[in-house]
A and B are shown apart, each in its own frame.
Chain A
Amino acid sequence: MHDDDTPPLPARRQLLKGGSAAIAAAFAGPITAMASRVAEASCAAATASVLLDSPYGAPAPVNDLTTGLPLIELPPGFSYKSTGWRGDLMSDGLVTPPNHDGMGVALQRRVGRSTEIVLVRNHERSNGGNAADILGASLAHVAKYDTGRTATGITGYQLGGTTNLVFRDGAWTESFASFGGTNRNCAGGVSTWGSWLTNEEVRSNTVSSTGRRHGYVFEVPADTSLTAANPEPIIGMGRMAHEASAIDPATGYWYLTEDQGNANTLYRFLPSNVSGGLNSLHAGGRLQGLKVRGIHNADLRMPTLCQEFGIEWVDIDNPDLDGATLSSVVGNVSASGPFIQAYARGAAIFGANEGCWVANGIVWFTDKQVTTSPARAGRVWALDLATDTLKAIFVSNDITVGNSPDNLVVSPRGGVLFCEDGGSGGPNSGAPVTQQRLMVVHPNGGSYVFARNNFNFTAAQLAAVGKSSASAGNHRNSEWCGACFSPDGRVLFVNLQGPGLTVAITGPWARGTL
C-alpha cells in the first residue's frame, strides 16, 4: 500500500515553545540565501564534487584557550575553548564519560544579564560488565532506561547516555549527567521546545534482563533539574540503528536517518501530537520511509552531482518490528524492521545515512562512505519539502574531497558543515589521510576544509595541563561529531570523539560561507 495522502499541514509553528528564549540570528543579509544556493548547487561539467580552497584560509594549529595545547587546526582569526574532557569531574560529582558523539543546543535563555546556552551531548558507549558504569548509576535523579543486562547479542549493561553542558557568557560553567541506561547514543536532534532526542545506534532483537529492547529514540530536557528525562523510548520513531533526527519547525514532522549498511532509507515521523512539548512524541504517530516516485527500491548509493529524484513516502505499519536478514536488490543485508517494511513498499536504498538537519524547508542529510563494493567516499543530499525533490548536492568519490560525512549542521547563515568520520580507507587520489576534518559544502557543489583534528599528545603533555585522565596518543584520525551553532551563529560547538572533549569555536565567520 502506497501512502500519497500526506495529512494536512498544521499551522506554522512557533520556534522554541516552552519557556525558551527566542532565537536571534546575527549578521546582516538573508539567512536563507546560502542554504538555498547550496541546494541549487552548480552541476555543470561535473559528476562529482571537487576540493576547493577555503575562503577562510588554510587551517593551522591553534592553541586551546583552556589548556594551551594545539588540539585542532583552524583558519586565521579563529579561537576556541575546550571543556568536558573524558575524565573531567562534572558539577554533579561524576566523571565525564568517554565517546563523545552527537550534540545539540537544546536551549538558549537569558538569566538576568547573562546569556546561557545548554547543550546535550551523547556518549556513544555500548555495553560492559559493571553496573556501576551505567551513566548516572549513583544518582537516583538521573533517569535511566535499562539497568539490566543483555546476555546475547549486545551483552552486558548499557553504558551509553547523555550529559548536559552549560555555556554562559562565553565560558563553560557546568556539566552534569542527564540520562543513562542506553546503548550507543550516536546522534540525535534538538526539538523546538528545549530538549534533545538521543538516538541508539544499534540494530538488535536482544531483550535485556529487565525486558528492554534497544535501538530507540529518547527525549532529554535541557534543564533536568526541572524535569528529568523520560526513561521510556519514543517507540513510534522505530527500532533501528538510529542516527540523527531533525524537526521541521513549519510542520512538526521529524526526519530520521539510519546507519545500517546498504539497508536504510530516509524516514519521516508525523507525530500524533504536532503541538510539540516535552513527552509529546511519546503519544506516537506515523512512521514512513522515502521512496523514489515511479521507481521501486531505487538504489541511491551512487548518484552523480546534482542528480534529482521526485519522492514520496510509504507507511511503516509496525515501527517496533524485529529486524532480520533481507534479500534486497543490492544483496543479502541485515535490516531493521522498519526498513524491511519500507523496502517491501518500494523504499529507496542508501549506503549508510548519518547526519540530518532541517533548515528553510530543506532536509539535509549525509550518506557516509561504505568501503565495500562499490567504494565511495560520501554524499550530502537535500530534500526540498515544497517540491518533494531530492538532490545530491555533494558527491565525493575521493576521500580527499570529503571522507564519510557524518554529523551535519546548517549554520544560522545557511552554511552547510559536516563532520568527517572516515579514517584512512576509501578511494584516494592524494596523500594518505592522517587527520579527520570539518568540511564545508560550497554552494557550487564543491567542498573546502574548515578545520582539522590535531590531537596527538603524550600522557606527560596531558598531565602538565591537568588532563591526566584524558586519552593520550594520536587521535588525529578519529571522528569529529556533534557540530552545532549557537542560535546567533557566533559560536560553533563540536566534539572530538577519540580523546573525548568538546570545543567552542568563534571567529570571522563572515569571511566564508558558514
Chain B
Amino acid sequence: MKKLLATAALALAAHLPASAALLVGQSTAGASLATDFSTDGLVAFDLDLNDAQAVRLDFQLGTADVGGALDLNAVLRNLTGAGIERLLIGLSIGSFEQAGSVTRPFGGGGTSVGLAGGSASLSFDSVEYLDVFIGNPFGGAGLSDWRIDTRGLNAGDVLAITIAVPEPGAVALVLSALLALGAVRTRRGRR
C-alpha cells in the first residue's frame, strides 16, 4: 500500500499556478523523503533514499516551466545502507530532451545513461554507496542540468517524477512498474 507523504493536496491544481514548479505530493511505500528546491524553469529536489522503495514526486508546473524546456537537477543521498547499481527515473508527462551531468563523488567508475521518451536509465560502473548528483545542483563549473521537453504541456499540469532503484536483473520489471506508477496523466496532458 502506498504511503502518502503529501504536504499539499492536488486541489492546488484548481488554483492559478505560480510561475515555478511546486512539489505538491510525495508517495512511497518506504521512508524516503524529498525536499523541493524548484525555481522558474527548473525542477530541483533533494531526495534522501532511506530504502529501495520507489518514490513518486508530483510537481505542479508553472507558467515558466511549460511550452519549451524545463531543467532538472537532483541530489540523491543513499541512506539505504546498501549499494546502488542502477537508477531509473520516469516522467509521467513530457519527455527527456537531453541528459545532463551525473556526478558521484565517490564513484570510481563511470555512469551509462539511456533515455527513451519519459524514461531514463542510469547504470553505474561501480556500486554507489554514497550520493548521486543529477545535473548541477550546486552550480559547479563544467556541469549541466538535465532537460525535459515540455512542449504541449500547460501551466497547472502535474509532472510525476518517479525514482526507482531496481534489484539487479529486475530492470525490465521495474520499468513496467515505473510506467504504471507514473503513468497517471491529468486531463491537461500533452496534446
Contact = CB atoms under 8 A, between A and B. Distances in A.
Q: Do A and B bind each other?
A: yes
Interface of A: 26-28, 65, 77, 79, 81, 112-115, 169-171, 488, 490-491, 506-510
Contacts of B50: 26, 28
Given A28-B51, A79-B106, A114-B138, A506 B129 contact: yes
Interface residues of B, number: 23
Nearest to A114: B138
Contact of B82 (A170, A506, A508): A508
Nearest to B51: A28
A170 B106 contact: yes
B37 to A, nearest CB: 6
B105 A510 contact: no
B47 to A, nearest CB: 11
A112 B39 CA distance: 14
A242 to B, nearest CB: 34
Contacts of B5: none
Contacts of B83: 77, 508
A170 B105 contact: yes
B138 A65 contact: no
Contacts of A115: 77
B81 A509 contact: yes
Contacts of B37: 113
Contact of B75 (A113, A171, A506, A510): A113
Contacts of B108: 65, 79
A36 to B, nearest CB: 19
A26 B75 contact: no
Contacts of A490: 78-79, 129-130
5 contacts: A28-B51, A113-B137, A169-B138, A171-B105, A490-B129
A506 B77 CA distance: 13
Counting chain B CB atoms within 10 Å of each CB, which of A112, A113, A490, A509 scores highest? Answer: A113
Nearest to B83: A508
B124 interface: no
Contacts of A510: 81-82
A81 B106 contact: yes
Nearest to B127: A77
B131 interface: yes
Contacts of A506: 106, 129-130
A115 B37 CA distance: 15
A169 B75 CA distance: 10
Counting chain B CB atoms within 10 Å of each CB, which of A26, A114, A171, A510 scores highest? Answer: A26
B129 A77 contact: yes
Contact of B129 (A113, A114, A507): A507
A169 B136 CA distance: 12
Contact of A113 (B106, B130, B138): B138
Nearest to B78: A490
Contacts of B127: 77, 508
A28 B81 contact: yes
A232 B128 CA distance: 45
A508 B130 CA distance: 10
B46 A113 contact: yes
A26 B82 contact: no
Contact of A27 (B81, B133, B138): B81
Given A27-B81, A170-B131, A490-B130, 15 more contacts: A27-B79, A28-B81, A65-B106, A79-B126, A81-B106, A113-B75, A114-B138, A169-B138, A170-B105, A490-B78, A490-B129, A491-B130, A506-B106, A508-B82, A508-B83
A112 B35 CA distance: 12
A165 to B, nearest CB: 15
A82 to B, nearest CB: 12
A65 to B, nearest CB: 6
Contacts of B46: 113
Counting chain A CB atoms within 10 Å of each CB, which of B75, B78, B81 scores highest? Answer: B81
A79 B129 CA distance: 9
Contacts of B106: 65, 79, 81, 170, 506
B23 to A, nearest CB: 14
A407 to B, nearest CB: 23
Interface in B117-133: 126-127, 129-131, 133
B75 to A, nearest CB: 6
A77 B124 CA distance: 13
Given A506-B129, A506-B130, A169 B105 contact: yes
B120 to A, nearest CB: 21
Interface in B80-110: 80-83, 105-106, 108
A169 B81 CA distance: 18
Interface string B50-78: 11000000000000000000000001011
Contacts of A508: 81-83, 127, 129
A499 B77 CA distance: 32
Query: Closest 8 interchain pairs by CB?
Result: A170-B105, A510-B81, A26-B79, A27-B81, A506-B130, A506-B129, A79-B106, A507-B129
A26 B77 CA distance: 10
Nearest to A167: B105
A79 B138 CA distance: 23
Contacts of B130: 170, 490-491, 506
A171 B106 CA distance: 8
A169 B83 CA distance: 18
A81 B106 CA distance: 8
B48 to A, nearest CB: 8
A112 B37 CA distance: 10
A232 to B, nearest CB: 39
A498 B79 CA distance: 33
A92 B154 CA distance: 51
Contacts of B81: 26-28, 508-510
A170 B83 CA distance: 16
